[in-house]
Amino acid sequence: MTIDEVAYYLNLSPRTIYRKIYEGELLAYKVGGVWRMEPQFVYKYSRQNKRTGVIQNG
């Protein structure tokens, strides 16, 4: 998957995806100068980092 595809799937900006790659949160590799990610790793990340939609009042 490309950065744009992952960003769309995770509902995040491409910039956030790059940051998560550099911080080691997402596994990616470069092919011909283009970042690629394996779909199974993206799916695993999305399952581990699900937002519950619960709003807490402080």
Give the count of beta carbons closer than 10 Å to the beta carbon of residue 30: 8
- Convert the pLDDT of each residue in 10-31 to its tens digit: 999 999 999 999 999 999 999 9
Q: How confident is the model at residue 51 (pLDDT cuts 50, 70, 90)?
A: low
Rounded percentage of the chain residues whose pLDDT exceeds 90: 72
Q: Return d(Cα 34, Cα 5) in angstroms, integer.
A: 13
pLDDT at 40: 94
